[in-house]
Chain A
Amino acid sequence: MGKVIVVTSGKGGVGKTTTSAAFAAGLAMRGNKTVVIDFDVGLRNLDLVMGCERRVVFDFINVINGDANLNQALIKDKRNDNLFIFPTSQTRDKDALKREGVERVMEELKNQFDYIICDSPAGIEHGAITALYFADSAIIVTNPEVSSVRDSDRIIGILASRSRRAERNESPVDIHLLLTRYSLDRVSKGEMLTVEDVKEILSIPLLGVIPESESVLRASNTGTPVVFDGESPAGHAYLDAVARFLGEQREMRFLKPERKSLFRTLFGRA
């Protein structure tokens, strides 16, 4: 039975789609059959970030409405056999997400996949609520910045009260913090909140810290999840986060400046 993970934030533009793509790819690279679903009806981006925008025939809304079946809409990733993308409609809007239809689709997906990543839209309205409703786990994507932290707090409150698990009084959704666009430089200048600041305000366990990196924009533009870029620090950080999610211990990298010592430069330790 597949596990449903929602990637949400409340705030827009903090890195949900980047994270959904990276996390799904990371899980697939570890041998898990994974699907990543775009819940941002009308403003779809996941297909672009995954590089499959030219292969979209049927979408999530088509399947909900019964115009197509699930297998006609699922797109297999060309880089990894375990990875699938379920795009959404660009022409409709979030009102098209009918709860019963979504539930039916989620049940079908849980039978076929190990992990189902739900890329949530920004906000706290119907689209975001539907994306988080079926979650078993949640990744709260937050930038080290006051508005983002406030909005993340809000969405955590909503997850605690409006998920299906909350409504049915089942064990709560497993919530994790992912700090993205972390800039060591700006933190040391006092321009950005520190990891400790954010942890103190949100009081949820930290899954990972993703450093600000130019490689993310390059990845978006080329339709490649950033974990496929072996030289990207962000990519490495995402792989660490996936490992931690799966229960492994990984030290937090990218929180301390990389001091290039003469010794290392001479003897070439990367």
Chain B
Amino acid sequence: MAGTLVQGALFTVMVVRAAMLRDPAFEEELAKQVERSPRFFLNAPVVLDLKGSEADAFVTPEEFAEARRVLRGQTLMLVGVQNALPQQIAAAAAADLAGFAPNATQPSRRRAAEAEAEPPEPAAAPAAPPPATVAPRTRLVTQPVRSGTQIYARGGDLVVTAAVSPGAELVADGNIHVYGVLRGRALAGASGDAGARIFCSRFEAELVSIAGHYLVSEQLPPEQQGFPVQIALIDDQLTITRN
């Protein structure tokens, strides 16, 4: 039992560089990004990367509290720090922030000497932090999806190897694959990924959608009914092609 008390897990966390917080244009740019994909950013955890910050910056809990307030104003949640000096870690802890090990895509703080030799980051790019690489997870469903059932594959693809009844709803942030007859609804790219696709062995869907662009059964081409198809969003149009 004790062995299962502490388990390792991988999480997706956004990283904000401390220098960005000092840039007045940052908040505005972040607000725009959040507005475009509100669900993606809502209550999303953020780690503050202190690499490159001055040794006397972020050494008090109040500074972290202020950073937390700024990020919260954009619905983000500051949960920890990365690449912090010992005095910064102490202040962060006092502000109830965890210390994260440097993530694999960043050189560690201790190699600051080499870091100095790197070309300076382009300061004129106050873009919102890009999301850290998402570990894709595919959700597999092998039983028939009955009418009234909703399945949401968060952060990845959905694969169904049985029939999907009319009145059932398949939702995925990634692609949807149905190795069976699709009679219900399929909504791929649910969090805004316009590159997501829908694949099925027998197309009889009630409604299909990719990144919010949808077509109902009546609008779907009748010549594709009953066949294996692939649905993609091309130039903002839902395109259905025979597989």
Which residues of A, 154-169, contact B by the 8 Å Cβ criterion? Answer: 154, 156-158, 160-161
Mostly, the A contact residues are helix
- Chain A residues with Cβ under 8 A from B145's Cβ? 157
CB of A136 closer than 8 Å to a CB of B: no
Q: Which of B143, B144, B146 contacts A154 (CB 8 A)?
A: B146
A156 to B167, CA, bound (A): 13
Shortest distance from the beta carbon of A99 to any chain B beta carbon, whole Å: 22
Complex-state Cα separation, A160 to B146, whole angstroms: 9
Cβ of B148 < 8 Å from any Cβ of A?
Answer: yes
> By the criterion of a CB under 8 Å from any partner CB, how many residues of chain B are at the interface?
12
Once the chains are docked, how many angstroms separate the CA of A153 from the CA of B144? 10
B143 touches A160 (CB 8 A): yes
- Rounded to whole angstroms, the CA-CA distance of A158 and B149 in the bound complex is 9
Residues of the B chain whose Cβ atoms lie less than 8 Å from the Cβ of A203: 144, 163
Tally of A-B Cβ pairs under 8 angstroms: 31
Query: With the chains together, A151 CA to B163 CA distance in Å?
Result: 16
Contacts of B148 in A (CB 8 A): 124, 153-154, 157-158
* Residues on A with beta carbons closer than 8 Å to the beta carbon of B74: none
Task: Determine if B143 and A153 form an interchain contact, defined as CB atoms under 8 angstroms apart.
Answer: no
In angstroms, Cα B149 to Cα A195, docked, is: 24
Q: Interface majority SS on B: helix, strand, loop or mixed? A: loop
Within 8 A of A (CB), among B103-146: 143-146
Q: Which residues from A are CB-within-8-Å of B147?
A: 150-151, 153-154, 157
Q: Tell me the smallest distance from the CB of B222 to a CB of chain A, in Å.
A: 19
B61-105 near A? 1/0 per residue, CB < 8 Å? 000000000000000000000000000000000000000000000
- Which residues of chain A have C-beta atoms less than 8 A from B166's C-beta? 150, 153
CB-based nearest A residue for B183: A201
Residues of A within 8 A of B168 (CB): 157
CA distance A73 to B149 in the complex (A): 38
- Check if B165 is an interface residue, CB within 8 A of chain A: yes
Nearest-neighbor residue (CB-CB) of A157 within chain B: B146
Contacts of A158 in B (CB 8 A): 148
Distance (Å) between the CB of A10 and the closest chain B CB? Answer: 9
Cα distance, A107 to B41, chains bound together (Å)? 50
Give min CB distance, A226 to chain B, whole Å.
Answer: 30
**Residues in chain B near residue A151, CB distance under 8 A:** 147
Closest chain A residue, CB of each to CB of B146 = A157
Which of B147, B149, B167, B168 neighbours the largest number of chain A CB atoms within 10 Å of its CB? Answer: B147
Listed residue (A154, A156, A157, A161) with the most chain B CB atoms within 10 angstroms of its CB: A157
CB of A263, distance to nearest CB on chain B (Å): 45
| Residue numbers in B under 8 Å from A160 (CB-CB) | 143, 146
Nearest-Cβ distance from residue A101 to partner chain B, whole angstroms:
28
Chain A residues within 8 Å of B143, by CB:
160
Contact A154 B163 (CB under 8 A): no
Please indicate the chain B residues that have their CB under 8 angstroms from the CB of A161 in the complex.
149
Tell me the smallest distance from the CB of A166 to a CB of chain B, in Å.
12
Q: In the complex the two chains form, what is the Cα distance from A194 to B148 in whole Å?
A: 24
Closest B residue to A159 using CB positions: B146
Known: A156-B146, A203-B144. A150 touches B163 (CB 8 A): no
**Docked pose: A80 CA to B154 CA in angstroms:** 57
Closest-by-CB residue of B relative to A203 is B144
Whether A201 and B146, one on each chain, are in contact in the complex, defined by CB atoms closer than 8 angstroms, is: no
| Interface flags, B163-181, vs A, CB<8A=1, else 0 | 1011110000000000000
Offer 26 A-B interface pairs, CB within 8 angstroms, sorted by A: A124-B148, A150-B147, A150-B165, A150-B166, A150-B167, A153-B146, A153-B147, A153-B148, A153-B165, A153-B167, A154-B146, A154-B147, A154-B148, A154-B167, A156-B146, A157-B146, A157-B147, A157-B149, A157-B165, A157-B168, A158-B148, A160-B143, A160-B146, A161-B149, A203-B144, A203-B163
Instruction: Given contacts A124-B148, A151-B147, A153-B148, list 9 more A-B pairs with CB under 8 A.
Output: A150-B147, A153-B167, A154-B146, A154-B148, A157-B145, A157-B147, A157-B149, A160-B143, A201-B165
**Chain B positions near chain A (C-beta within 8 angstroms):** 143-149, 163, 165-168
